A and B are shown apart, each in its own frame.
Chain A
């Protein structure tokens, strides 16, 4: 008999929890099932489907989001852990109609082919550039090593991150 990965029989997981958190700068209050992950909270409760459901095992990086500015895999974070915290997803990267330099450079460098891994890459790259504004190619490769792309290849992605870093550097100065 196969055992469920999530023991849904556990009454604690069946209970709903009231959470207050900030999502892309907006305060949200919601009632969430105890067994749900942060990924499910974003996609199913808030309809923010830009964050992707990939392997659900923490191997592919498609579900990456920022939790209090830290890069996390939302498929491995319980929703109830996020009470009082700030989440940022790909939907929060734009400033109005203006694309974030990373988004514009990904589009211009052909760094998104099928696009499924793109939100995770963008969020991971944003976290890197916040910490290392002039990251080297090796540091970019290291920071993005948790994100898997199965079509474009990584070269265009590295080039896009470098171009965005250059743009961000010039706007800061």
Chain B
């Protein structure tokens, strides 16, 4: 086994440093120009038919 450089040796993962310094970018950490945001509006009734959605307050936000 002495001939191996990697097998049998503990190694830092390639992105280990980024993960312990807070530099890893997760989806929620991205900020892009002209990015849109969404919010989930949940139905208040189960198995109901959606006839219309009032988007006025969303559009003014």
Contact = CB atoms under 8 A, between A and B. Distances in A.
B21 A90 contact: yes
Interface in A44-67: 47-53
B22 A108 contact: no
A103 B21 contact: yes
A99 interface: yes
A104 B16 CA distance: 9
A91 interface: yes
A38 B21 CA distance: 19
Interface string B21-61: 11111101101000000000010100000000000000000
Interface in A97-116: 99, 102-104, 106-108, 110, 112, 115-116
Interface of B: 10, 12-13, 15-26, 28-29, 31, 42, 44
Interface residues of A, number: 29
Contact of A112 (B16, B29, B42): B16
A99 B13 contact: no
A126 B4 CA distance: 36
Contacts, number: 61
A103 B12 CA distance: 12
Interface of A: 1-2, 43, 47-53, 89-91, 93-94, 99, 102-104, 106-108, 110, 112, 115-116, 118-119, 122
A89 B23 CA distance: 12
A104 B29 CA distance: 23
Given A2-B44, A108-B10, A115-B15, A99 B20 contact: yes
B44 A103 contact: no
A121 B16 CA distance: 15
Nearest to A108: B12
Q: Which of A1, A2, A47, A118 has the most CB of B within 10 A?
A: A118
A107 B12 CA distance: 6
Contacts of A49: 22, 25, 28-29
12 contacts: A47-B31, A51-B22, A90-B22, A91-B21, A103-B20, A106-B20, A107-B16, A107-B17, A107-B20, A112-B16, A115-B18, A118-B19
B22 A50 contact: yes
